[in-house]
Amino acid sequence: MNRYKYILFDLDGTLTDSAPGILNCYRYALDAMGFDEPEDIMRVVGPPLYDSFAEICGMNESQVNEAVRIYRQRYAETGLFENNVYDGIPEMLRRLKNSGKRLFVATSKPEVFAVRILEKFNLAQYFDVIGGADINGTRNAKQEVIEYVLSRGNITDRNDVLMVGDRFHDIIGAKKCGIPCMSVLWGYGNKEEFIQHGADFIAETPQALTDALIY
């Protein structure tokens, strides 16, 4: 696996444990909108925000837009920092960078928030490009974000690219872009989900991921 030169990382559930802030903001928006909390609220962690309010919470388009507005109002002030870096992530990024890999972020989170989070936790230094969704709801799907990051990074040979993420959306997005995906077990997904959607590789720890990509 040493051949992969360009490593794209998801953010939520891959680099940071952002579930507390995401769930607090979802509950805040649902309460304001008069919607009940879904039975398994952890399902909202991972998919694009617009998709979660529509598909998991059962909102129509106008309700989704209002829920996103309310969610982001709290998230921008408080929620984005209700968040922690997973153990071993700084060491993983440092080792990969020092080995000559080029690192990127490809997240469905709005780019402006992703940059603030990574700067807050002193991780932005490792990435050539931090790419995310546009704040107005465009470039929302994972494959759109991946294509955007590949373009910004001037990456033309996709044989050298690997996506790293913790949910099936990362696998699907990577496949649509013609690149393999390594799924990680320290985030919000699980091995059954990864196998079902055809993950190319599975890593149990940041150290195992790094060892696989360097040696």
Q: Domain segments of the chain: what residues?
A: 6-17+84-214, 19-81
Residue 10 annotated in active site: yes
Q: What is the DSSP letter of 141?
A: S
Asked if domains 6-17+84-214 and 19-81 share a fold, the reply is no
Query: Which pLDDT score, from 0 to 100, does residue 19 have?
Result: 92
**Domain 6-17+84-214 carries which CATH code?**
3.40.50.1000
The single-letter code of the amino acid at 6 is: Y
Residues 193, 155: Cα–Cα separation, whole Å: 29
Task: Please provide the average confidence, as pLDDT, over all residues in the chain.
Answer: 94
Architecture in CATH of 19-81: Orthogonal Bundle (1.10)
Q: What stretch of H or E contains 8?
A: strand 6-9
Query: Which pLDDT score, from 0 to 100, does residue 75 have?
Result: 93
Residue with tokens 């490593």: 7
pLDDT digits (tens, 9 = 90+) for 108-162: 999 999 999 999 999 999 999 999 999 887 788 999 999 999 999 999 999 999 9
Comparing 129 with 1, the larger pLDDT belongs to 129
pLDDT digits (tens, 9 = 90+) for 63-81: 999 999 999 999 999 999 9
Q: Are 181 and 163 in contact (CB under 8 A)?
A: yes
Q: At what angle do helices 206-214 and 89-98 cross, to 10 degrees?
A: 10
Query: Which pLDDT score, from 0 to 100, does residue 41 have?
Result: 87
Cβ burial of 3 (10 Å; 0-12, 13-18, 19+) is exposed
* Confidence check: pLDDT of 206 > 80: yes
Residues 190, 149: Cα–Cα separation, whole Å: 26
Is the pTM value of this prediction over 0.85?
yes
